[in-house]
A = this chain, B = another copy of it.
Amino acid sequence: MHTNLRMTKQRKMILDELRQVTVHPTADQVYESVRKKMPGISLGTVYRNLDLLCRTGMARRIEKSGSPMRYDGDLSLHNHICCTKCGRVDDIRAIDLETGLEEKEIMKTGYRLIKIKIELAGLCPECQKSEDRLEPKGLG
């Protein structure tokens, strides 16, 4: 991975934008905002930096299948709820798997809940084998 990251004007600007805003913007929305202050910035630069900021833990990705990726500069532990009609994304605090969903928190947002989906991901048995060759004793 990179060792010598540089804080360029563009990167700074993108990070600032993410932190100032609460709308969980798409890459394109970040581009349009940042472009107002820095007209020459390239869309590729926005994508590249959003990716890097997420990989280094300075921002989060909000993935929703079928929709463009959204980004969040708020690193506190929280979840999101997405509007199926207009696509807007709002924060939900304190969702706990063990105690079930905090219905109160959902109600606070004013959303009418339509869908709860649990997405599970992991390593299949085959991929664990090849992974183990790289990580001899396993990490978990």
Residues of chain A whose beta carbon lies under 8 Å from any beta carbon of chain B:
63-67, 69, 79-86, 88, 90, 92, 95, 97-98, 100-101, 106, 109-128, 130-131, 140
Contact = CB atoms under 8 A, between A and B. Distances in A.
B118 A112 contact: no
A97 B101 contact: yes
A126 to B, nearest CB: 7
A95 B118 contact: yes
A109 B120 CA distance: 12
Copies in the complex: 2
B100 A118 contact: no
Given A112-B122, A118-B116, A127 B79 contact: no
A122 B97 CA distance: 19
A87 B4 CA distance: 32
A120 B79 contact: yes
A110 B98 contact: no
B124 A86 contact: yes
A120 B80 contact: yes
A62 to B, nearest CB: 9
Nearest to A79: B118
11 contacts: A63-B66, A81-B121, A81-B122, A97-B118, A110-B125, A111-B124, A112-B122, A112-B140, A113-B120, A114-B121, A117-B119
